[in-house]
Amino acid sequence: MRIADIGGEFTLIERLCAHVPAVHKNLLAGIGDDAAVIGGIQADGSHLLVTTDMLVENSHFKCEWAAPEQIGIKSVVCNVSDIAAMGGTPTFMFVSLALPPTTEVEWAESLYRGMGRACRRYGVILAGGDTTHGAAVTINIALLGRVAPENLCLRSHARPGDLLCVTGPVGTAAAGLAMMSAGFETPDLLKEKHLTPGCRLDVSPAIAPRAHAMIDISDGLAAEVNHICKQSKTGAEIVAADIPLHPLAVEAARLTENDPLSFALSGGEDFELLFSIAPQDRQQLERRGIDVVTVGKVTDAAAGIFLRMPDGKSQALAGGYNHFS
Ligand code: ADP
Ligand code: MG
């Protein structure tokens, strides 16, 4: 049986993890959130956060398109984004590298220069790693962080009646990728969103104390809404017309003959945040000048997970990036 036959990475992860002890009294959230949450071990009462993400040459980046500095930045950002999604702040980082023996030393140094830029921006300290040889450049980063218990936002914390909000336009990175893949002259902003995205650690500390569930948008809005609903045992209704799209992403969709909505729902790596929040707390965010967009609401599980289209009809909210299909 192949991985695609069992439904992709998430079914695989479930099957694999059943073979290993994965429950402990201090492990407040393990497999299934953006980062693991370990409580009861830090002297200041905060929870320890741990996340890890891997980038593989030709699957996650192409050396013809991305300079090593850009790959370095992205490899740090996708991890910081997972810590931000928990409501936390990043602290220490470990970098494991597999490099083909033909790799230029200058290339690897530039990769680390890019990591350094991102680490300075987000307050991350390099604390170790591992280096070996391999057929393709493979970069794995494990990132630690901390979160005050009252700021912790788990995927399982959404409640029916919450609003679902995003911190910015979605589908922009996918638009950049589509333009570059099709060989179009790609606007700088779209290229940048795909090659050197930022993450939303700038707003997450203000959102986290008020939000219930939070997740970063790395596999498309549809996948992330489904993750929150599955873990919170709720339904959701997303309003297609309310999903914020960048005008350049709309134009990219026209040029590449794509639907801009599918960039937003199924395109990956926007690294904006999706969160659920009570309506009165959403208003408080607005008063504090935190710019977020409401895209739908959390409902009871029985109501299902739907996308309301501009013509008023609803369809199942499906889609999202699957690494094995
Ligand atoms: P994200 O997109 O936020 O990085 P993933 O979709 O990669 O999260 O992972 C979902 C969850 O599954 C996370 O809790 C992650 O730690 C866990 N996970 C992913 N791959 C494995 C694996 N091979 N073994 C154990 N846990 C895994
Ligand atoms: Mg994530």
Residue found under tokens 């939303």 = 200
- Domains of the chain are 3-150 (3.30.1330.10), 153-316 (3.90.650.10)
**What is the pLDDT, as a whole number, of residue 321?**
60
For a ligand 1 pocket test, name from 3, 10, 27, 31 the mutation site with the most ligand atoms within 8 angstroms of its C-beta.
Answer: 31
Nearest to 91 by CA among 140, 132, 35, 139: 35
Tell me the β-bridge partners of 55. Answer: 139
pLDDT score recorded for residue 320: 62
* Closest ligand 1 atom number to CA of residue 16: 24
**How many angstroms separate the CA atoms of 12 and 2, rounded?**
10
**How many angstroms separate the alpha carbon of residue 104 from the centre of ligand 2?**
31
Give CA angle at 275 (50, 145), nearest 5°.
Answer: 20
Distance CA 159, CA 113 (A): 43
Residue ID of nearest Cα to ligand 1 atom 21: 13
pTM assigned to the model: 0.95
Instruction: Tell which atom from ligand 1 comes closest to the C-alpha of 34.
Output: 3
Name the DSSP class of 46: P
Can you tell me which atom of ligand 1 is nearest the CA of 31? Answer: 14
CA of residue 273 to ligand 2 center, whole Å: 9
d(CA 165, ligand 1 centre) in Å: 23
pLDDT digits (tens, 9 = 90+) for 270-323: 999 999 999 999 999 999 999 999 999 999 999 999 999 999 999 999 866 666
Mean local confidence (pLDDT), 75-81: 97
Query: Ligand 1 atom 26: the closest Cα is on which residue?
Result: 31
- pLDDT, mean over the chain: 95
- Tens of pLDDT, residues 122-170: 999 999 999 999 999 999 999 999 999 999 999 999 999 999 999 999 9
Answer whether residue 325 shows pLDDT above 60: no
DSSP string across 63-113: TTTS-HHHHHHHHHHHHHHHHHHTT-EEEEEEEEEEE-TT--HHHHHHHHH
Q: Residues 76, 129, 12, 194: what is their CA dihedral angle, to the nearest 10 degrees?
A: 20
Ligand 1 center–CA 180 separation, angstroms: 28
Rounded distance from Cα 2 to ligand 1 centre (Å): 19
Contacts of 50 (CB under 8 A, 6+ apart): 35, 36, 38, 142, 143, 144, 145
Q: In the chain, which ranges are continuous DSSP H helix?
A: 9-17, 68-85, 105-122, 172-181, 188-195, 204-207, 221-232, 247-255, 260-266, 279-287
pLDDT value at residue 229: 97
CA distances from 149 to 40, 138, 285 (A): 11, 34, 20
- Residues having CB closer than 6 A to ligand 1 are 13, 16-17, 31-34, 53, 82, 218
Q: Is it the case that residue 177 has pLDDT exceeding 90?
A: yes
What are the tens digits of pLDDT across the range 191-242?
Answer: 999 999 999 999 999 999 999 999 999 999 999 999 999 999 999 999 999 9
pLDDT digits (tens, 9 = 90+) for 30-64: 999 999 999 999 999 999 999 999 999 999 898 88
What's the CA gap between 222 and 165, in Å, rounded?
A: 13
Largest CA distance in the chain: 57
